[in-house]
Amino acid sequence: MNNSIFPGQTAFYKGKVRDVYTINDDYLVMIASDRISAFDVILPRPIPFKGQVLNQIAAKMLRATEDICPNWLLSTPAPNASIGKKCIPFKLEMVVRGHLVGHAWRTYNSGKRILCGVTLPEGLKENDAFPQPIITPATKAEQGHDEDISKEKILATGIATEKEWETLSSYTLKLFERGQNIAAKHGLILADTKYEFGKIEDAIYLMDEIHTPDSSRYFYADGFSERQKAGERQKQLSKEFVREWLIENDFMGKEGQTVPAMSEEWVNTISKRYIELYEKVTGEKFQPEPLSAHETISRVNDALKILNII
């Protein structure tokens, strides 16, 4: 898709996995591509139906949490497209963790016991649950890697005020609890996730995607305790398996490292894993709906008219 394709378009931003179009300075059109990123690097091959999976999970989860806090979403006119309100974003990812996994585990396993100013309890194994969920924020980098940050530094640098931080924290924990409850109904454990927020005037809005495999890690609940006791690997649904494959192939996004080649078989495996997660998280059968760029644009334009945006 080229950069200027919608009436009233005032800006365009190409993210790692999404193309974002600003309409009349007040609204956004997000097109979820099939691009996939890990370690802040876009991998060389797209993953079939990934954009549709992410867009549709996010839409379902935003609608399932709109009683907790306002969110940006107005319409999903195409399987991989969403229209919503433009917010002024906090340069912050509100990462919330119910289990010791991923980056938190790598930090813990290195011997460190403080993450983003939060003290981690002793004696935990990989994938163990924390006594209660913890918030470990990260700065939202314009380029390169996001970086861990503490509440104290967030306040000191003015990323958020004390009052804003209280609201962000409250929303984050309530959203995570809702996400855990939804996951539990479908035999899953929501291990960790991240939320992004922004402001419209003085109100704080939930933005972006939530509870998707790109922003979250899920474990299968069945057999979880037994696997933990036996010291076995947990069966999980997330993008972590892609990160693990990259690490095994000597790539962690560091300077001088080369992204490994992706075979057709591996691309299809990733696609199947995303579809599996969609079906597990939503409890619904995935209905692939491949649309051309032209069809997507046409549906978005119709929706923009219905919403009286153009």
Percent of the chain with pLDDT over 90: 89
pLDDT digits (tens, 9 = 90+) for 128-179: 999 999 999 999 766 656 799 999 999 999 999 999 999 999 999 999 999 9
Domains and CATH numbers, the chain: 89-238 (3.30.470.20)
Query: Could you tell me which residues are beta bridge partners of residue 147?
Result: 139
pLDDT in tens, 66-89: 999 999 999 999 999 999 999 999
In terms of pLDDT, which residue wins out, 176 or 240?
176
pLDDT of residue 140: 79
238 or 64: which leads in pLDDT: 64
Residue 210: which region, alpha, beta or left (left: phi > 0; alpha: psi -120 to 50)? beta
Is the pLDDT score of 37 beyond 80? yes
At 237 the pLDDT is 82
Whole-number pLDDT of residue 144:
59
pLDDT of 236: 85
236 or 109, higher pLDDT: 109
Beta strands in the chain (DSSP E): 9-14, 18-23, 27-32, 37-38, 41-42, 73-78, 81-85, 88-89, 92-99, 114-115, 118-119, 129-135, 138-139, 147-148, 188-200, 203-207, 216-220, 236-238
CA distance 44 to 262: 7
pLDDT confidence bin for 2, thresholds 50/70/90? low
In the chain, the amino acid numbered 30 is M
What single-letter amino acid sits at 227?
Answer: R
